[in-house]
Structures are given as structure tokens and as C-alpha cells.
Structure 1
Amino acid sequence: MSQLLALVILVGILFIGDVVAVRTKAWVPSIFICAVLFLLGYWTFFPSDIVEIAGVPPAVATMLMYLLITNMGTLLSIQELKNQWKTVLIALSGILGIIVVLFGIGTFLFGFETIVVAIPPLVGGIVSALIMSEAAQNAGLISLSVFAIVIYVMQGFAGYPLTSIVLKKEGKNLLKKYRNGELAVKRADKETAASAEQPELKLFRRLPEKYNTDFFKFFRLSLVAYLAYLVSVLLAPVVSVSPFVLCLLFGVIATSAGFLEKQVLQKANGFGFAIMALMLFIFDGLKQATPGMMMEILYPLIACIVLAVIGMYLFSFFMGKLLKVSKEMAFAVSLTALYGFPADYIITNEVIKALTEDEKEREVLTSHMLPPMLVGGFVTVTIVSVILAGIFVGFL
């Protein structure tokens, strides 16, 4: 198979996944459709190295992971996290619930290694799934390497409908309060909003914009990623710290210092390609999945997701009680761990549109429901999952 034919086939699969997700309003996740098509391809006519033939060898995928995680760090707004401190605590409590229940019950059912591999993808996205998949493969745990990818693919089926249900209940309660004159639109304080805006490139104030080219953006991003890697190597004799965790931290520091702008990879026009290549590399892990192996991991897959949802509900319920946040909103925030952005944004907006056609009422619901959902998804998928993956790889 030629390189371009392989590329056309694989990118075509990603496009089909997007089309199905759009047509079903994200009820059928694009990654699920892509995973099914990849499996069918590997079980029929795909060469086992089709992703590498298409131009995405492991070295390229690793490079893109460093850039993407460092780019994640540039998204962190300390001010917004301060404003949504209740949301942050609820999101963290939901993750704690997953960890406690899976380690407390799942370990006895499936073993320690299975639970270690399952948790980071359950509370994260593509990056944490890939980290755990590679770690399991390096440890010789081939079925668990596939398990990390499959659990990432399937968790949305639990998260999407549950989130929609609890958000509808929360929205109805908010509408009732608004119609009774007990609720108003939440408006951000102008000074708070101004302080939340991070100054762009303080260290390059005098640099003419014409010199801030895409290559200069890539250079600064790769330099920060390299420094994170270098520090992880220097720390290795003392303490083992994942370079990916340090990439996240260094991205935050570099943005705060004005060395990197927010979403620098998007501004360098490289984000779409990076995600495409990393998605292909994720699905490349399915080449080892035989029909027998898929049947073997089906039971732990379903059980881990169910136990995770139970843990999230229990812990977020108690934290919501403590912080005087409704159990529906608390559970919805914790559920963002199962999908993150943009699904949290899409589901919330779909629910709001379904509940009312009045623009003022939609504004009220949006101001009360959307910010915590976005912050919840950011905390769980972007920050905590990468940190957990960086820690958990040491357990394999």
C-alpha cells in the first residue's frame, strides 16, 4: 500500500467519525466510529503498520505529545480557577471517587495492573490514554495496552447521556427559580475579567509582530518542552517525574512569564495536524486487538466504567452538599472527566436549547451552567489526567 493511499484511508475514517458525531449531536462519539472502522480494517485488509506507512511513526507521535501537553499548559487561567474554586473541588472529588472505588473494588475483581491502566484514560483524554497504552506495551502487557485505548473510546457512552439527564434536571430547577424571581444572570466582574486576561508575550513586547512567525512560535514551544524533558532527566536519579507532567507545568510557567502566548499551537497553525496525527497513533494500538482479546476485555471495560460513575456520583454528591451546590450540577461537573472539551460545551448548549426558546432564559441558564462545566472539563481532562498518567506509569 502506498503512503498516500494509506493517508487517504485513515484521514477518511477520522472524517466519517466527525460526520456521525455531528449528525447525532455527539450522542455517538466520533472516536467510537473511528475505533470500529480501524478494528474492521485491521481484521480484514489493513497492513499492521498502516499508520506508520501513512507517515506517523512513533517518533513523530512522541514529539507531538510533548508539544500538545506543553500547549495544554498555556490554556490554564489561574484567575478563572480561583473564580470557580467550588467547581475545581467538585471535579477533584469526582476523580478521587473514581480512584477510591476502582482501587477499593476493582482491584479485587481485575487486579492492580488493570486498574492502574484504566484510571488515567477514564479521567482524561487522548494524551493520558496514549501514555498508559505505551506504558502497558513497554511492560509487556499487550491486552492492557489495548484496554487503555478501548476504555478511552467507550467512556463517552456513559458520560454523554448521564450528563444530559442531570443537566436537564438542573436547568429545570434553575428556570423555576428564575421564573419565581429568585435567580438572575451571573455576570463576571469587569475587574476580575480584566485580571483574568493574561498578557501576551511580555518578554517580547518590542518584537515586531512580523517576526513572530509560525516557526518562532514552534521554536518557543519546543524549547519549553525540551526544558521540561531536561529537568525530568536531571531529576531522574533523585525522583522519577514524568516529562509530560513537567511539560504541563512548564507550559503554565512560560505563559505566565510571557514567553508563550495562550493556545500557541493553534496560533502556529499546527494544532489540527497534531491532533490528527496523534489520533491515528492512538488507533494504531488497536492493531493488536484480536476479536478474542476484545471479548476478554469487555467485562472489565463495562465494570470499570460503571464503578467509576458510582464513585464520581458518591464523592461529588458529598462535596456538593458541603459546598451547597446542587447534586445535579455537582454530578454533571464530575462527569466531564469522561469526555472533556468540546463535548462539555456541546452537551450543555444542547440541553439549554432544549429547555427553553426564550433568549433571556437561555442567557440565565448559560451563565449558571456553562462556566462550571467548562472549568470541570479543563481540570479533569487537561490537568489531572496527565498528572495521574505521569504518576501511574511508575506502577507498571
Structure 2
Amino acid sequence: MNLITAIICVLGALAIGEIISIKTKAIVPSVFITAIVFLIGYWTIFPENILEIAGFVTPIIISSMLFLVTHLGTMLSLKELIRQWKSFSIAIFGILGICFGTLVLGKLFFPWEMLVIATPPLSGGVVASIIMSEAATAKGLPKLAVLAVVMYVMQGFIGYPLTAFVLRLEGTSLLKKFRKGEAINLDKKEIEEEETKRLIPPLPKEYQTTYIVLLKLALLVGGAILFTEAINEVVSRYVICLFAGVIGAESGFIERKPLNVSGTFGFYMTGLMAFIFGGLSKATPEMLQTLLIPFIGIIGFGVVGMLIFSFIVGKILKESSPMSCAISLNALYGFPANYALTVEAAKSLGETEEEKQFLIDAMLPKMLVGGFVSVTIVSVIIAGIFVKLL
């Protein structure tokens, strides 16, 4: 397969997901359909390294992730970040719910080693999956090493439709209040007053060019990475980049939504979304057939535990049940899928640009915080603990 053919296949898979999502008004999420297309593609005509052939190589993906996370940080104010303590709490308890579901309920049906290996990948991202896969291999459990990979690669098939469903419930409820005047966006005058108080005055429009804006974004990312290295990676570089974006925008060093200002948001997002589905190349039919029952059972118990815990904590913190569930479900995929699912729900429900923006402003910060807490922080801690339980 040559370069252009690979690009056509990758973009075709992403486009099919979007078309079906638009047709169904996001009832069927685009990421779910795209994942199925990639899975079928890998089983038929896609070479395993199709993303590399298409030019989506690791350095580009890593830089895209760092730039996008910092960009999302510029969309949050310090006040907003502090306000999201509820989302932080719900995400943590959601992961505790996963552990309860797999280790307590799952123990009735599956071997202890299998549950210990599968739980950390279910509660977060690729790092947890790698840690547990290597631990299983070291213990002479090759089948369970594969299970750790399968849990990470395939959990989105459960998470995507569930999240789309609860986000639509939340969005519908929010829109009813918005249309009755019971819920409003932050007043534009208040936003303008906050922007004028920034330490560094904004650049004139003619200087807000692609190269200048991207340079400032790169400087923020570079500073975040240096800080992360200085603290010996105690906190994930992606979390630090998120805070760097917040501080950079609040101080006035960089514009809000810099990738939109520079006209490069779509480019970076495309590469990152394609990269997510690259993990499906490891999910062969034989692998799925062998591990189908453990996968369904363990993820089922984990999700049930997660939803129960997040529902209870949401009630205590006075957060809506659909939003609490959506925040916890971030553990099954994280960023950038959470961004895509939230924006998709908002665009399908809102009838005007004002309504769409209201829904994005109301739901996206909670989803972003939930994703970073579960995938980049707690899941790695959980993996470190669970390795010692083998």
C-alpha cells in the first residue's frame, strides 16, 4: 500500500464514522463506527502499519497530543479548573467502582491473576496496559499479557456508545433549562472583563499568524516538558501541559484556542484520532475469540461497579446522574475520544450556534478533567499497586 492509498483508507474510515453519526444525530457515535471500520480493515485489506505508511508516525502523534492538550488548557480558566473539583472526585470514585466490580464481583467467576491483570488497563490508558502486560509476561502468563492489551484496545466499544447515550441525556436536560432561561452561559461582558485583566496584552490581529501562534504554543509545551522532567515525571507531562495552557491563556501569553486561531486544529486532531484506532491492529479474530468471555465478564463487572459508585457520589455532590456516569466512563477511553464525543453530542442536540456552544461549555470541562484524572493519573497508580498483587 502506498502513501496516498493509506491516507485515503484512514480518512475514509474517519469519514464513514462522521457520516453515520450525522445521519443518526450522534445516537451512534462516530468513534464507535470508525473503530468497527478499522477493525474490519485490519482483518481484511489494511496492513498492520497503515498509520505509519500514511505518515502518522510516533513523533507527529506525540507532538499532536502535547499541542492539543495544551490547546484545551487555554479553553479553561483558573476559576473553571477549581470549579471542577466535583469532576475530579467523581472520576476517582468511578475507578474505585471499577476495582470493586472486578475484584469483588468478578472474583466469583474468574481467576484472581486474570482480574489483577485486566483491571488497571480497564481503568485507564496505554501506560497501565503496558505495565500489566509486561508483569504478566514476567510471571509466565502470556495469555493474560494479551488480555491486558485487549482490555485497553477494545474497551472503547463499550465506552463509546454508553457515553454517547448519557451525554445526550445530560445535553437534553441542559437544553430544556437553557431554553427556559434557567441556565445561561457566562455573561459575555464578564468574559471580556476577565480577558482585559490579563498580565500580557494580546497581540494585534495581524500578528496572530499560524507560525507565531504555533511558536508560542510550542514554547508552552517545551516549558511544561522541562518542568515535568525536573520533578522526575511524578505527574504526567500531559497534565502539566493542560495546566501550562491554562496559565498561558490566563496570563495573556497565548490566545484562547490557539490551534483554532492558527487554523491547524483539524490537522492535529485527525492524526490523533487515527492513532487511537491503530491499537486495533493487535486485536486478531483468534485473540478476540479466545478472550471473549473474560473480556465481556470483566468489563461488565467493572462498568457496573463504576456506574454504581459514580451514581452515589454524584448524588452526594449534587451532580446529575448522566453527567456523573459520563465523567467516570472517561476511564474507558480518555482524550481525545472524550472531546469528540462531547462536541458531537452538543452539535447534534443544539439547534443554534448559541445552544451548541452552551452545551460544549457546560459539559466539556467536566469531561476533560475526568479523562485526565482517570487515564493519566489514577490508572498508573492503580497499575503500580496491582503489579504487587500478582
| Pairwise TM-score range, normalised by the shorter structure | 0.7 to 0.9
Distance in 2 (alpha carbons) for counterparts of 1:45 and 1:191: 51
Per-residue CA shift, 1:183-221, capped at 9, x if unaligned?
A: 86234675983378445974354x443233111111111
Which residue type is aligned with residue 116 of structure 1? Answer: P
Instruction: Provide closer, same or farther for how the CA distance between residues 187 and 272 of structure 1 changes in structure 2, counting only shifts above 3 A.
Output: closer
1:158 and 2:149 matched: no
Distance in 2 (alpha carbons) for counterparts of 1:300 and 1:332: 29
Name the residue aligned to 1:115.
119
Distance in 1 (alpha carbons) for counterparts of 2:378 and 2:193: 27
Using the TM superposition, give the Cα deviation of residue 135 of structure 1 relative to its aligned residue in structure 2, in angstroms. 6.3
Preserved CA contact (<8 Å) 1:64 1:278: yes
Per-residue CA shift, 1:11-32, capped at 9, x if unaligned?
A: 1111011101111111222122
1:33 and 2:33 matched: yes
1:332 and 2:323 matched: yes
Distance in 1 (alpha carbons) for counterparts of 2:116 and 2:192: 45
Using the TM superposition, give the Cα deviation of residue 113 of structure 1 relative to its aligned residue in structure 2, in angstroms. 3.5
Name the residue aligned to 1:69.
69
Which residue type is aligned with residue 381 of structure 1? Answer: G
Per-residue CA shift, 1:88-111, capped at 9, x if unaligned?
A: 455334323321122223144543
Using the TM superposition, give the Cα deviation of residue 65 of structure 1 relative to its aligned residue in structure 2, in angstroms. 1.3
Provide the secondary structure at the position in 1 that maps to 2:234. Answer: coil
Using the TM superposition, give the Cα deviation of residue 303 of structure 1 relative to its aligned residue in structure 2, in angstroms. 4.2
Moved more, 193-202 or 38-47: 193-202
Preserved CA contact (<8 Å) 1:2 1:53: yes
Distance in 2 (alpha carbons) for counterparts of 1:208 and 1:390: 43
1:279 and 2:246 matched: no
Instruction: Provide closer, same or farther for how the CA distance between residues 305 and 171 of structure 1 changes in structure 2, counting only shifts above 3 A.
Output: farther
1:203 and 2:203 matched: no
Q: How does 1:233-252 map to 2 (within 5 A)?
A: 233-236=229-232, 240-252=234-246
Per-residue CA shift, 1:220-244, capped at 9, x if unaligned?
A: 11111112112222222xx633222
Per-residue CA shift, 1:260-310, capped at 9, x if unaligned?
A: 222112211111111111122222221121112223454454445544543
Provide the secondary structure at the position in 1 that maps to 2:219. Answer: helix
Q: Once the two structures are aligned, what percentage of the paired residues are identical?
A: 28
1:23 and 2:13 matched: no
Q: How does 1:118-267 map to 2 (within 5 A)?
A: 118-120=122-124, 129=125, 141-162=145-166, 164=168, 185-187=182-184, 190=187, 193-194=190-191, 197-199=194-196, 202-205=199-202, 207-236=203-232, 240-267=234-261
Using the TM superposition, give the Cα deviation of residue 315 of structure 1 relative to its aligned residue in structure 2, in angstroms. 3.6
Using the TM superposition, give the Cα deviation of residue 394 of structure 1 relative to its aligned residue in structure 2, in angstroms. 5.6
How many positions carry a matched residue from both structures? 361
Which residue type is aligned with residue 278 of structure 1? Answer: L
Preserved CA contact (<8 Å) 1:51 1:284: yes
Using the TM superposition, give the Cα deviation of residue 376 of structure 1 relative to its aligned residue in structure 2, in angstroms. 2.9
Name the residue aligned to 1:98.
94
Preserved CA contact (<8 Å) 2:120 2:132: no
Per-residue CA shift, 1:37-96, capped at 9, x if unaligned?
A: 2222222222221111111111211121111111121121233456xx4xx455334323
Preserved CA contact (<8 Å) 1:96 1:315: no
Using the TM superposition, give the Cα deviation of residue 161 of structure 1 relative to its aligned residue in structure 2, in angstroms. 3.2
Using the TM superposition, give the Cα deviation of residue 164 of structure 1 relative to its aligned residue in structure 2, in angstroms. 4.6
Q: How does 1:372-391 map to 2 (within 5 A)?
A: 372-381=362-371, 385-388=375-378, 391=381
Instruction: Provide closer, same or farther for how the CA distance between residues 323 and 6 of structure 1 changes in structure 2, counting only shifts above 3 A.
Output: closer
CA RMSD of aligned residues (A): 3.8
Instruction: Provide closer, same or farther for how the CA distance between residues 317 and 300 of structure 1 changes in structure 2, counting only shifts above 3 A.
Output: same
Moved more, 268-277 or 311-320: 311-320
Structure 1 residues without counterparts, runs of 5 or longer: 121-128, 354-358
Using the TM superposition, give the Cα deviation of residue 166 of structure 1 relative to its aligned residue in structure 2, in angstroms. 7.3
Which residue type is aligned with residue 265 of structure 1? Answer: L
Preserved CA contact (<8 Å) 1:201 1:261: no
Preserved CA contact (<8 Å) 1:164 1:347: yes
Distance in 2 (alpha carbons) for counterparts of 1:259 and 1:33: 39
Moved more, 267-276 or 109-118: 109-118
Provide the secondary structure at the position in 1 that maps to 2:200. Answer: helix
Which residue type is aligned with residue 235 of structure 1? Answer: I
Provide the secondary structure at the position in 1 that maps to 2:123. Answer: helix
Distance in 2 (alpha carbons) for counterparts of 1:319 and 1:388: 17
Which residue type is aligned with residue 19 of structure 2? Answer: V
Distance in 2 (alpha carbons) for counterparts of 1:162 and 1:96: 19
Per-residue CA shift, 1:120-179, capped at 9, x if unaligned?
A: 2xxxxxxxx4555666678774543343232124312223335556777x689979xx9x
Distance in 1 (alpha carbons) for counterparts of 2:266 and 2:13: 16
Name the residue aligned to 1:123.
none
Distance in 2 (alpha carbons) for counterparts of 1:185 and 1:323: 20
Instruction: Provide closer, same or farther for how the CA distance between residues 268 and 132 of structure 1 changes in structure 2, counting only shifts above 3 A.
Output: farther
Preserved CA contact (<8 Å) 1:345 1:370: yes
Distance in 1 (alpha carbons) for counterparts of 2:11 and 2:247: 35
Provide the secondary structure at the position in 2 that maps to 1:111. Answer: helix
Structure 2 residues without counterparts, runs of 5 or longer: 138-144, 330-336
Instruction: Provide closer, same or farther for how the CA distance between residues 166 and 145 of structure 1 changes in structure 2, counting only shifts above 3 A.
Output: same
Instruction: Provide closer, same or farther for how the CA distance between residues 137 and 335 of structure 1 changes in structure 2, counting only shifts above 3 A.
Output: same
Name the residue aligned to 1:46.
46
Which residue type is aligned with residue 252 of structure 2? Answer: G
